[in-house]
Amino acid sequence: MVPSTPKSDLSSSYDVIVIGAGFAGLTVARDLAFKGKKVLIIEARDRIGGRCWTAHTGKDSKVEIGGTWVHWQQPHVFSELQRYGLDDFEETMAFPENCESTAKESRSQPAIVSDPAEGRVMMEQLEGLMLKFFDVDGQGGRSIIPFPFSTASSVKQNPDYLELDKLSVSDRVAQLEGCTQEQQSMLSTHAASFYGIAPEKASFTEVLHTHALCNFDPAMIETATMKYKLAKGTTAFALAILEDYKGDRIFNSPVTSITQGDGDFPVTVTLRNGEQYLSKTVISTVPINVISSIVFDPPLSALRTEALSTGVTPARADKLLVCTSTELKNGFNVSCEGGDMPYASGFTDGSHGDHTLLTLLVHPDNSLDRSDENIRLVESLRPAGIQVETAYGHLWSDDPYAGGVMPVRGPGFLQKYNDEIRKPHGNVYFCGSDFADGWRGFISGAFEDAYRVTREILRQN
């Protein structure tokens, strides 16, 4: 729990009010305060970090409940880590060579050990199919997204980007010649698996964009997105930024409405408890998934409302962390797709004290933190069993201040919605990882967009 500024020290009006104390909110507040602005942060939770959260589970042990992995190929986060001397990492070995692999498609079926040779053949086949999937230009997609950190620059250099964005993952797979029905099904599922949503709901260019961020190198995707964790944790990182911030803060206070009018302080922010604060400018870092929980007066445009409600789909949201005393010396991973299992997949994720830590990626809306049955189901993920000692989870899909994790853009989003969602609504700016051009949905994207909005506000004021 982080303390609020004492009420007696709060002002009734500010230059800037920042809604949300995730990485974007903390950064934009820090940087505007550095520039002499009078800033107030308002956070709905009693903690900072947003969709990142380090839970301390013992004297020397912790687990990352939310966003976890970083990499120096994510430039903004790495720069900030070096700024605070936190660029010390722990490694996740999700798929080590010769690791034990199983598959369990349903609750009633037993786990089946995967043949390593068959697995290698399948992965080689998938790699070949993915190369065909990306190769829309004879250059592996390189000419389509030449600037993965600038959508506008990429579109300017190659307008085909917008045309290809109209395709879903399923649409692109259907274009490939010489693929069997089985290969098409396998490719559709695999291409959308990074986000964990149906292939028809994800834009083809959303997947190509991640490929571009990883320098069009398939081997880099795992390394850049699920290998390196912060040794001191994401919460320690957020606290370092908060310590640098010179301004006021209010925690445990959800915002219910933002009203714009006239005068020197034209924006009124109303909290759930009825308190109101005035500001010249408001920055909302509320995730796209839950912006609709705030009442705007005047209301948001019809196009922006449509973009937030139907233009995106929340990625697979939930994560269960299990500590096991079972010896898994060669590593372990499991696939659970295709049936009624609550989990999609799982893998070894380092150690937790004397035990091994398993990370399970979970389909939304499963009561992991309240269902002993779902947690005990972990024990059946390998034929020889898994001894569950402790489990930690958080239902991000059921979190009223998150609504899941990153929103995945659907077909046609760029041309129809992208400019609309990034522009200000009067004196209200929208900021956060969800709006980033580069590593959308990652901590680095939060920093990138905080820098953008900071520039825009300083230009206007």
Omega into 298 within 30° of 0, i.e. cis? yes
Cβ proximity of 57 and 63 under 8 Å: yes
Q: With CA atoms as reference, report the closest residue to 222 among 358, 445, 82, 73.
A: 73
Question: Tokens at residue 311, please?
Answer: 């233009």
| 218/129 Cα distance (integer angstroms) | 12
**Coil, strand or helix at 229:** strand
Q: Which long-range contacts (CB under 8 A, 24 or more apart) does 388-392 make?
A: 388/322, 388/323, 388/324, 389/323, 389/324, 389/325, 389/355, 390/57, 390/322, 390/323, 390/352, 390/355, 391/320, 391/321, 391/322, 391/323, 392/55, 392/57, 392/63, 392/65, 392/320, 392/321
Q: Which residues of 298-336 are buried (b: 16+ CB within 10 A; e: fewer)?
A: eebeeebbebbeebbbbbbbbbbbbbbebeeeebbbbbb
**Coil, strand or helix at 321:** strand
| 99/290 Cα distance (integer angstroms) | 39
Q: Which residue is associated with the tokens 């372990």?
A: 332
Backbone phi and psi for residue 89, each to the nearest 5 degrees, phi listed first:
-120, 155
Question: What does the CA dihedral 451, 455, 457, 459 come to, rounded to 10 degrees?
Answer: 180
Cβ proximity of 21 and 51 under 8 Å: no
Which residues lie below 8 Å from residue 116, measured CB to CB, with a gap of 6+? 98, 101
Annotated binding site for FAD: 43-44, 255
Give whole-number Cα distances, 123 to 128, 170, 190, 219, 289, in Å: 9, 20, 10, 12, 33
Cβ proximity of 23 and 446 under 8 Å: yes
Annotated binding site: 43-44, 255
Give whole-number Cα distances, 323 to 357, 379, 383, 390, in Å: 5, 11, 18, 5
Q: Which residues of 101-113 are buried (b: 16+ CB within 10 A; e: fewer)?
A: bbbbeeeeeebee
- Type of residue numbered 73: Q
- Rounded to an integer, what is the distance from CA 334 to the centroid of its chain? 22
